[in-house]
Amino acid sequence: MSGMNNGLNPDDPTVVAAFRAALLHQGVIAMLIFAVLSVAWVSVRAQPDGARTGSPNGPSHPLARIRAGLWAYGEPAGRQVLRIGFGLLWLADAVLLAQPGMAAGLPSQIIAPSAVTSPAWVQHVAVWAGDAWSYHPVEVGSAALWIEAGIGLWLLAAPRGTSSRLAGLASLTWGLVVWVFGESFGQIFAPGLSWLSGAPGAGLLYAVAGALLVLPDRAWRTPRLGRAVLGGLGVFLIGMAVLQAWPGRGFWQGTSAGQPGTLAGLVQSLAGTPQPQALSSLLSGFGSVVRAHGFAVNLIVVAALAAIGLAFLAARRRVTGPAVAAFAVLCLLAWVLTEDLGFLGGLRADPGSMIPMALLAAGGYLALTRVPAVETEPAPAAVAPAPAPEEPAGGPGQRWRERLGPAAVRRSLTAATFGTMASLGAVGVILLGAVPMAAAQATPAASVILAQSMNGAPNAMDAPAPGFTLTDQHGRPVSLSGMRGKVVLLTFLDPVCVTDCPLIAQEFREAGRLLGADSRRVELVAVNLNPIYSQPDYIQAFDHAEGLDTVPNWYFLTSDQARLRQVWRAYGVASQVLQAGAMLGHSDVAFVVDQRGHLVQELNFDPGPGTPVTKSSFAAQLADAATQTLRSP
C-alpha cells in the first residue's frame, strides 16, 4: 500500500538494537517508579503509630493489606472478570509489542495489511498512522508498549472507585486508538468482513470493556447491564451469522473454480505462515476439511452464531449459561483455527478478538446476577480519619500549599491502599510511554535512526576539504574557500538523474528548513556529476523541478568536464556513463565541511526508497550534522 513503506526491514539490526535499549532504559525507570512508591508507602506505614493516622481496624500484615486492597471489596463478579481479564490482555499485548521487529515492522506488517482491502478513506487514516509511527519508530514503539502495560497494570491494581473507572477510561481511549489507527476500524469497511476473521476488531472490544468499566458501581448491581451486554453481543452475532450466510461472499464454497473459497483461503494463508509444526498441521487439516466440506462448515458456523446470538438476546440465565459456554468453545475454536492464536503467523500486536469477545460474554453473563449493594464500601486498608484541616489564615494559596505539603503527602500515603499505590505506579508507566511519544510527535523531522539504519552512521573525518572554484546555477563563480566561516553541506548530483539525486536534493532543501535560523550559517552545495548535461540551463531546470530555485543558500555548481573531473577525483566520487539508456552511475555521498574548511563528516547518502519518512530522516541527519558542527568549538 502506497505510503506505508518506511524503507526498513522489520529486523533491521540498528533499529532493533535501539528499540531494545529504549525498552531497557524505560524498564529501569518503570521499576524505579514502583520502587520509590513502595519505599515511600512502606516507610510511612512503618512509622510509630503515633506518627501515622492509620485505622486501628485495618489489617496489619503487609500481604493482608495488599489482599484487602485488591480483593476485599465486593466487586461485582462481571466487572471483576472484565477488569482482570482485560488487564491481563493489555499486559499480553505489551509483551507482544516488545518483539524485536515491532518498532520497524508495525506499519508495513500490521497496519498496511489491515487496511489494504478497505476503502480509500480508511487507507488514508492507516497511512497517516503508519507515517506517525514510522517517523519515530523506536520512541512510538516503546511508548505503545508502556502505555499498554500501564493500562493493564492499572486495571489489575484498581478494583474500585474513581481510579478503577479512570483505568476503564484509559482502556476505552487506547482501545479506540488501536482500533482506528492500528486495525483500520477492525476492517469492518472491507469487503471480506467476517466474525471468523476477527470482526469487529480486538481494539473495539477492549474499548467496549473499558466503557463498561467506566460505568458507576451501581450499574453493575442490577441485571440490566448484563442484559444490555448480552443483547448487544446477540445482535452482533446474529448480524455476523447473516453476513456469513450472505450469498456471493464465497463462504459457502470450499473451492471455487479450482481456487480455495473465502474461508479455505483464509485458513490456507494462516497455515502457510511460520509457526510451530503442530499448529501448522492442525490448520492444514482444517483447511482440507473446509475445502472438502465448505458448505457444511459454513452451515455449522452460521447456525452456531445465530443460535448463540438468539440465546444471548433472551438474556435468561438458564438459556444464556449454556450459550455462553458454547460461545466460549466456539471462540476457542475460531481462535485456534481461523485466528492462529492471534499472535502467530508473523508480527502481531494482540492475541486476536476471540478471547476479548469471550470475556465480554462471560462478564455480561455474570452481570445478570443481582449484586447486593455494599452498605459502606470497605475503607482503604488503612483508613485515615484525619481531622478536617482548619481553614488556614493565608487564604486559598496557603490552603493549596498545605494540601501539597509534606504533611499532606504523608497523610495521603498513609491512607493509600496497595491498589492505590500500584495504580499510581501504573499511571507513571503510562506517562513513561505517553510523554516521549508526545515529544517525538511534536518534532517535525523523522528520527535519524532510519537514515543510520539504511546507510550506517556518518564517518568522522578531519582533513582540509579540497578546494574548487566552479560556476553556480546563475553563472556566477563560486569557490569553497569563499564559504569559509560557514558550515558547508556538500553533495554531488546528476541534474538529469531519475531516482536518487532529486531525492537527495529534496533532503538538502528540507535540512535547510529544519536548521531554521542556523541556516544563515550553513551553505547547501551540490557539484554536478554529469559530464554530458553540465550546462547551467540543466542545473536551473533541476533546481526549478525540485523547488530549490528559491532557496538562498543553495548552490548547484557546474563547469567544464575537465574541471568537474578534478573535483570528483579530489573527493573520491565516481561518475560513469552507462550504456543502453541507463542513468549515470554515481556515488551517493554527502560531506560536512566546518567553518575552517575542514572535512569533518562523510555520510553515505543513498536515499533508499525516498518515502516521506526516509527523506525526513536523511534531512534530519544532515541538519543534525550541521548543528553539531556549528556548536563544536
Q: Given the rule CB under 8 A, which residues bind another protein? A: 188-193, 231, 234-236, 238-240, 242-243, 246, 248-249, 313-314, 496-503, 530-535, 537-538, 541-542, 544-546, 577-585, 588, 606-610
Query: DSSP assignment of 26-37, as one string?
Result: HHHHHHHHHHHH
Between 161 and 239, name the residue whose CB sits nearer to another protein.
239
Between 248 and 395, name the residue whose CB sits nearer to another protein.
248
Q: How far is the CB of 503 from another protein (least distance, A)?
A: 7
Q: Name the pairing type of β-strands 522-528 and 554-557.
A: parallel
Between 81 and 501, name the residue whose CB sits nearer to another protein.
501
- Eight-state DSSP code of residue 18: H
Q: How far is the CB of 270 from another protein (least distance, A)?
A: 21
Q: How far is the CB of 320 from another protein (least distance, A)?
A: 13
Q: How far is the CB of 532 from another protein (least distance, A)?
A: 4
- Eight-state DSSP code of residue 391: P
CA–CA distance, 447 with 617 (Å, rounded to integer): 6
Q: Name the pairing type of β-strands 487-493 and 522-528.
A: parallel
Between 339 and 546, name the residue whose CB sits nearer to another protein.
546
List, in sequence order, every residue forming a beta bridge with 593; answer none if it has no partner: 488, 599
Q: How far is the CB of 366 from another protein (least distance, A)?
A: 20
CA–CA distance, 255 with 422 (Å, rounded to integer): 54
Are 4 and 111 within 8 A, CB to CB? Answer: yes
Between 106 and 564, name the residue whose CB sits nearer to another protein.
564
Between 519 and 534, name the residue whose CB sits nearer to another protein.
534
Q: How far is the CB of 414 from another protein (least distance, A)?
A: 50
| All three cell numbers of 533 | 548535461
Are 190 and 117 within 8 A, CB to CB? Answer: yes
CA–CA distance, 93 with 115 (Å, rounded to integer): 20
- Eight-state DSSP code of residue 119: -
Q: How far is the CB of 197 from another protein (least distance, A)?
A: 12
SS3 260: strand
| All three cell numbers of 276 | 510451530
248, 299, 514 from 330: Cα distances, Å: 24, 14, 55
Q: How far is the CB of 501 from another protein (least distance, A)?
A: 8
| All three cell numbers of 543 | 533546481
Number of C-beta neighbours around residue 536 at 10 A: 17
Between 151 and 190, name the residue whose CB sits nearer to another protein.
190
CA end-to-end distance (rounded Å), the chain: 47
Q: How far is the CB of 35 from another protein (least distance, A)?
A: 47
Number of C-beta neighbours around residue 449 at 10 A: 24
| All three cell numbers of 344 | 502467530
